[in-house]
């Protein structure tokens, strides 16, 4: 059997190992936050934001950020139907209702016009999820948010390395949330980051992130409110610091892999891939192919073909409204149509040209079948 091609795995070097070893050996007592503080500072500097708070997950960052915005029972939060449940779960945890709207056919991101049409007096926020590294139309969303006095939040879990008109994804909205899951371009195994340039919002989330203990509180073990426990460990932050110091290399490798795929699929008009509109940069976290309906290529035929060649095949996100916890929104026709004829492609850092070629052969074979 041919060697397995994984869809993703992290790039770990001697730097990550050295930092993690130092954290394990010395990162205790007075030094127990050293790598956390350094990671947060480096990440904020990379994004060009004022504040960053490391978390145990992107979900935790979203949960605390939405709570700080006052999202609660009876409220509504608008987001795209094409998403992973991590974007919607914090809304439900806060007692609010996720309102799923359709996506654009080219970017697979939230349709701004549909988002605006879904606004009601109960709308508390709009979440812009930059799916697979593709960017939401932030100009239009921010304009809508400003006009209706509704904050726009960026779920940039998959968009490290993506840029909108010179500004990095996650740095444009009221706050941004990132993921460092083991599949991501920059990883801490599990983990996330809350970022903002709004100092008031930062202080609220900082308090919430520490069991509700305000930064200036002099009494020991004295919470001023009920908060959360979504902290990242110093050990994880050590790995994260090493990764963010290599972020340029890691993002560029993702882009090299994507363009290698696109070059080898040039001329195949029956497939569409992640877009990169003028004035933007796509971090291409997950290269994705969507087959034209007339090809007859389906998710199931793609999975079978990849499995036969010992290649991981990761399916396109199901519409959230199609999943058991939520109510169906059949009007979101694009979100319902895309997953049945799409597949995510392998794109780990040390992928070889031969491995990329094997993946392309499978894609072309599906078209020829």
Model pLDDT, residue 122: 98
Tell the residue number behind the tokens 């009601």, with chain if given: 120
Q: What is the pLDDT of residue 18?
A: 98
Return per-residue pLDDT of the chain as tens, 369 residues. 899 999 999 999 999 999 999 999 999 999 999 999 999 999 999 999 999 999 999 999 999 999 999 999 999 999 999 999 999 999 999 999 999 999 999 999 999 999 999 999 999 999 999 999 999 999 999 999 999 999 999 999 999 999 999 999 999 999 999 999 999 999 999 999 999 999 999 999 999 999 999 988 889 999 999 999 999 999 999 999 999 999 999 999 999 999 999 999 998 888 999 999 999 999 999 999 999 999 999 999 999 999 999 999 899 999 999 999 999 999 999 999 999 999 999 999 999 999 999 999 999 999 986
- DSSP state for residue 323 in the 8-state scheme: S
> How is residue 218 written in tokens?
């002099």
Q: What is the CA radius of gyration of the chain?
A: 21
Cβ atoms of 279 and 138 within 8 Å: the answer is no
Q: What is residue 310's DSSP assignment?
A: T
Structure tokens at 285: 């976290």
Calculate the dihedral angle through the C-alpha atoms of 354, 359, 363, 366, rounding to the nearest 10 degrees: 100
- 280-281: strand order across its sheet: 167-168, 163-164, 280-281
pTM: 0.96
Residue 215 burial by CB count (10 A; 0-12/13-18/19+): exposed, middle or buried? exposed
Domains, the chain, ordered by start:
14-244 (3.40.640.10), 247-368 (3.90.1150.10)
Interatomic CA distance for residues 80 and 329, integer angstroms: 11
Q: Which residues contact 176 (CB under 8 A, 6 or more apart)?
A: 47, 49, 153, 154, 155, 156, 169, 170, 194, 195, 196
What pLDDT is stored for residue 269 in this prediction?
86
């Amino acid at each position: 059997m041919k060697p397995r091609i994984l869809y993703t795995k992290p790039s770990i070097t001697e730097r990550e190992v050295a930092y993690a070893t130092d954290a394990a050996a010395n990162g205790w007592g007075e030094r127990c936050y050293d790598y956390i503080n350094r990671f947060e500072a480096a990440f904020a500097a990379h994004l060009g934001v004022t504040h960053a708070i490391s978390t145990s997950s992107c979900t935790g960052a979203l949960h605390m950020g939405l709570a700080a915005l006052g999202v609660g029972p009876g409220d509504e939060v608008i987001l795209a139907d094409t998403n992973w449940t991590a974007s919607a779960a914090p809304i439900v945890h806060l007692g609010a209702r996720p309102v799923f709207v359709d996506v654009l056919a080219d970017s697979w991101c939230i349709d701004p016009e549909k988002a605006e049409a879904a606004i009601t007096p109960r709308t508390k926020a709009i979440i812009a999820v930059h799916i697979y590294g593709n960017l939401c139309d932030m100009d239009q969303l921010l304009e809508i948010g400003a006009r209706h006095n509704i904050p726009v939040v960026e779920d940039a879990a998959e968009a490290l390395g993506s840029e909108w008109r010179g500004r990095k994804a996650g740095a444009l909205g009221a706050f941004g949330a990132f993921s460092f899951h083991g599949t991501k371009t920059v990883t801490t195994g599990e983990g996330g980051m809350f970022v903002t340039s709004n100092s008031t919002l930062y202080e609220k989330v900082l308090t919430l992130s520490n069991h509700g203990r305000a930064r200036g509180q002099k009494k020991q073990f004295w919470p001023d409110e009920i908060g959360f426990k979504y902290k990242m460990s110093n050990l994880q932050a050590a790995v994260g610091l090493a990764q963010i110091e290599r972020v340029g290399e890691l993002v560029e490798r993702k882009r090299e892999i994507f363009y290698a795929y696109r070059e080898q699929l040039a001329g195949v008009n029956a497939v569409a891939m992640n877009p990169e509109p003028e004035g933007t940069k796509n971090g291409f976290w997950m290269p994705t192919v969507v087959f034209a309906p007339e090809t007859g290529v389906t998710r199931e035929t793609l999975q079978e073909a990849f499995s036969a060649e010992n290649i991981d095949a990761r399916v396109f996100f199901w519409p959230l409204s199609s999943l058991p916890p939520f109510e169906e929104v059949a009007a979101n026709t694009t979100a319902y149509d895309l997953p049945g004829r799409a597949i995510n492609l392998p794109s780990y850092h040390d992928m070889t040209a031969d491995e990329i070629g094997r993946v392309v052969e499978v894609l072309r074979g599906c078209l020829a079948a």
